[in-house]
Amino acid sequence: MAKKAKITVVGLGPGSLLDMTPRARAAIEAAEVVAGYTTYIRLMEPLLSNKEIIGTGMMHEIDRCRMAVAAAASGKETVVVSSGDAGVYGMAGLVLELILQQKEEERPLFGGTIAGVSAVNAAASVLGAPLMHDFAVISLSDLLTPWELIRKRAKMAAAGDFVVALYNPKSRKRVHHIEEIREILLQYRRPETPVGIVTAASREQEHKIISTLADFTKEEINMFSLVIIGNSQTYVKEGWMITPRGYGRKEAGL
């Protein structure tokens, strides 16, 4: 019987190798097998010499993770990579579910999840300080979640005056969902509420736009964008988006 090896889920960060944690890098360098979406594999090519690669495209997450679990079960030290944080819309949950479905004597060891810088954190840092108070993160992809449930979550976050961060805001096939979300938010927020759009955060093509709730859907938004919609207190000053934490209650002028 082959020795048991570990399978570890690794968050790569938003894109730049400079934003990868030392722990994540060490896990990748120590692995014999690296599994991930092909776009993410390309981001980390300098770290992949002499490694077995399990790379698949979008929509093949289950197959990719099954192959990775099998590689670890056969005795190869394996990592499954996700962009951002692997526990935020990443592969951590799927890998763990697949491992725990197997008989204990047949499953590989779970090496845990290594946290990464999430896209929402990277985008917020580009915009200034929009997440300084309570916020909600919602994916607009309805491939795995019913659209009516997504709408409900957006409405509740809007009613609660949360800053709202939108993952997967718009694709070539899914162009109207973000308009519906804008209409929901406008029921609870002023049209001039600041909205930040960051595309390709931490990558060479990084680009930011600060718009308003009334107009932000007129801007270029795609699957590499992250949208942050301010709460009732969020404002823009000298090109920076700021959501006050509430220190003004302690000292006037803040």
Residue 70 CA: distances (Å) to CA of 2, 89, 192, 198: 12, 22, 52, 37
Task: Please give the Cα distance from 223 to 16 (Å, whole number).
Answer: 18
Task: Decide if 9 contacts 80 (C-beta within 8 A).
Answer: yes
Task: Please give the Cα distance from 225 to 170 (Å, whole number).
Answer: 8
- Whole-number mean pLDDT of the chain? 94
pLDDT tens digits, 50-76: 999 998 777 789 999 999 999 999 999
Question: What class is the 6-117 domain?
Answer: alpha beta
Place of tokens 């590989």: 108
* Fold: same for 6-117 and 120-242: no
Cβ-Cβ contacts under 8 Å for 168 (sequence gap 6 or more): 89, 139, 140, 141, 223
Q: How confident is the model at residue 168 (pLDDT cuts 50, 70, 90)?
A: very high
Q: What does pTM read for this prediction?
A: 0.92
Task: Decide if 19 contacts 112 (C-beta within 8 A).
Answer: no
pLDDT at 7 over 60: yes
Could you state, in order of their start, the residue ranges of all structural domains in the chain? 6-117, 120-242
CA gyration radius for the chain? 20
CATH of domain 120-242: 3.30.950.10
DSSP letter at 108 equals: P
